[in-house]
Amino acid sequence: MLKRILFSLLFLLILAVVTLFFYRPATSQSERSRPAFSRGTIVFEKADGKNVSFKVEEALTQQQHSYGLMFKPSMAADEGMLFVFPEEQKAFFWMKNTKIPLDILFIKANGKIVRIAQGKPFDLTKIESGEPVSYVVELNAGRASVVGLKVGDRLKISNLTGNR
């Protein structure tokens, strides 16, 4: 009888070890296939002459543009994402699978902010630039207001990795 109990305990122990070794948390295909993003720092010059900077992930390719901040659970206050387009174009964004409420800054080729929009988590409503832009910056919701960024302020183009 003791032998049978020990054998059962050994079997359960081996089963537990094997389960722990091979267990992987369930994630969707999209979460596992997040593209690699280069990182950099962007600087905005405000109308009052003061600068404000953010650490950003740079979305330079179509795959990176499509993925953006989807599935990211949070972002530090001084972080964001910079989208760089190969040429000026009307830009359209939505918040599918995006967990973080965002400020979305649409920026012309000369660096001028032409629109600041807000995006709500998981909202499929199209958010449009309104006119052709070369850059879009996503920040935590309300962050643009907190640091005093407004339409007309400028992104310093020379600081960009994706500068054309």
User: What's the confidence (pLDDT) of residue 164?
Assistant: 44
130: which DSSP letter? S
Of the candidates 32, 34, 52, 27, which has an alpha carbon nearest to the alpha carbon of residue 42? 52
- The beta strands (E) that lie in the chain are given as 38-45, 51-59, 79-89, 92-93, 102-107, 113-119, 127-128, 133-140, 154-155
Low-confidence ranges of the chain (pLDDT < 70): 6-32, 158-164
User: What's the confidence (pLDDT) of residue 34?
Assistant: 82
Residue ranges of domains in the chain, CATH in brackets: 31-159 (2.60.120.1140)
Q: Could you tell me the two tokens for 44? A: 């905005």
User: What's the confidence (pLDDT) of residue 29?
Assistant: 45
| Contact by Cβ (8 Å): 65, 90 | no
pTM over 0.85: no
User: What's the confidence (pLDDT) of residue 139?
Assistant: 97
